Chain A
Amino acid sequence: MGSYVIRRLLMMIPVLWGVITIAFFLSRLAPGDPADAMAGQRASEELRQQIREQYGFDRPLHVQYGLYLWNVMRGDLGLSYDSHRPVTAIIMERFPNTFRLAFSAMVAAVILGVSAGLISALLPNTWYDRITMFFSLLGISTPVFWLGLLLMYFVSVRMRLLPPSGFGDGGIQYLILPAITLGTQSVAFLARMTRASMLEILNEEYLRTARAKGASPFIVIVKHAFANAAIPVVTIIGLDFASYLSGSVLTEKVFSWPGLGRHIVTAIAQRDYPVINGTVLFFAVIFILINLLIDVLYAYLDPRIRYD
Chain B
Amino acid sequence: MRDSYKKNNDPTPSHVRLYPRGAFCLFMLTALLFSCSGQDGNYAQYGGSFFMPPPDVDTLVLYDINDPPTLDPARSWGTFDGLLVSQIFSNLVRFNQKAEIEPDLALRWEMSDGARCYTFFLNPQAKFSNGRSVTAEDVRYSFERVLDKDTASSSRWVLERIETIRAEDPLTVVLTLKEPFAPFLGLLAMPAASIVPREEVERCEREGIPFGERPVGSGPWLFKEWRHDQYLDFERNEEYWGQKPNLKRLRMRIISNAFTAIAEFETGRIAYINPLPEAEILRWKTHPQWKKYTELTNQLSADMLVFNCERAPWDKEENRRALCQAVETPLVLECVREGAGAVITGPIPPGLPGFDPDRKLFKYDPDASRELVKQNGLDKREIVLLLPSSDQFVSSTGVIMQALWKKIGVSVRVHQAEWVTYRRMLREGEFDIAYRNWFADYPDGDNFLYPLFHSSQIGSGNMARFADPEVDRLIEESQKEMNPSRRSELLTQANALVYEKAPALFLWSRAKYIVTQPWLKEYTEPLIFNGTQFLAERIEAPAVDLKHKED
Contact = CB atoms under 8 A, between A and B. Distances in A.
Direct contact of A and B (CB under 8 A): yes
Contact of B5 (A47, A138, A192, A305): A305
Given A84-B210, A158-B42, A167 B230 contact: yes
A200 B8 contact: yes
A130 B227 CA distance: 46
Contacts of B103: none
B420 A256 contact: no
Given A82-B69, A160-B267, A43 B460 contact: yes
A76 interface: no
A152 interface: yes
B550 interface: yes
A254 B261 CA distance: 10
A166 B2 CA distance: 40
Contacts of B33: 154
Contacts of A307: 1
B134 to A, nearest CB: 26
Interface in A182-215: 192, 195-197, 199-201, 203
B18 A134 contact: yes
A231 interface: yes
A200 B9 contact: yes
A220 interface: no
A32 interface: yes
Q: Dominant SS at the A interface?
A: helix
Contact of A45 (B46, B213, B460): B460
A283 interface: no
B269 interface: yes
Contact of A164 (B14, B42, B260, B418): B260
B460 A42 contact: yes
A78 interface: no
Interface in A44-89: 44-45, 47, 50-51, 54, 82-85
A21 interface: no
Interface in A82-135: 82-85, 90, 93-94, 124-125, 129-130, 133-134
A271 B229 contact: no
How many chain A residues sit at the interface, stated as a range, is 35 or more
Interface string A152-179: 1110111010011111100101000000
Interface residues of B, number: 70
A83 B152 contact: no
Interface in A203-239: 203, 229, 231-232, 235
Nearest to A93: B228
Contacts of B22: 134
A221 B551 CA distance: 40
Interface stretch (A12-20, A240-248, A261-269): A261-269
B263 A232 contact: no
Contacts of B255: 165-166, 256
Contacts of A82: 69
A133 B263 CA distance: 32
Contacts of A152: 259-260, 263
Given A31-B424, A269-B418, A199 B213 contact: no
A84 B209 CA distance: 8
Contact of B420 (A171, A271, A298): A271
Nearest to B18: A134
A94 B230 CA distance: 10
B interface, by DSSP: helix, strand, loop or mixed? loop
A109 B12 CA distance: 25
Interface in B409-433: 418-421, 423-424, 427
A232 B7 CA distance: 7
B256 interface: yes
Contact of A255 (B5, B23, B260, B427): B260
- Chain B CB count within 10 A is highest, among A45, A47, A165, A200, for A165
Interface in B248-271: 253-257, 259-260, 263-264, 266-267, 269
Contacts of A34: 420
A3 interface: no
A13 to B, nearest CB: 19
A54 B267 contact: no
Contacts of A235: 2
B428 to A, nearest CB: 9
A152 B69 CA distance: 28
Contacts of B37: 158
Contact of B460 (A44, A150, A165): A44
A195 B267 contact: no
B157 interface: yes
Contacts of B460: 42-45
A138 B338 CA distance: 37
Interface in B13-44: 14-18, 22-23, 26, 30, 33-34, 37, 42
B260 A165 contact: yes
Closest 4 CB pairs of A and B: A40-B77, A32-B420, A258-B229, A164-B263
Given A153-B34, A165-B257, 9 more contacts: A133-B14, A156-B263, A164-B269, A165-B260, A166-B253, A253-B257, A259-B229, A270-B69, A298-B2
Interface of B: 1-2, 4-5, 7-12, 14-18, 22-23, 26, 30, 33-34, 37, 42, 46, 66-67, 69-70, 77-78, 149, 152, 154-157, 210, 212-213, 227-230, 253-257, 259-260, 263-264, 266-267, 269, 418-421, 423-424, 427, 441, 451, 459-461, 548, 550-551
11 contacts: A36-B424, A51-B152, A94-B229, A125-B14, A130-B18, A152-B260, A166-B255, A200-B11, A258-B228, A269-B418, A270-B420
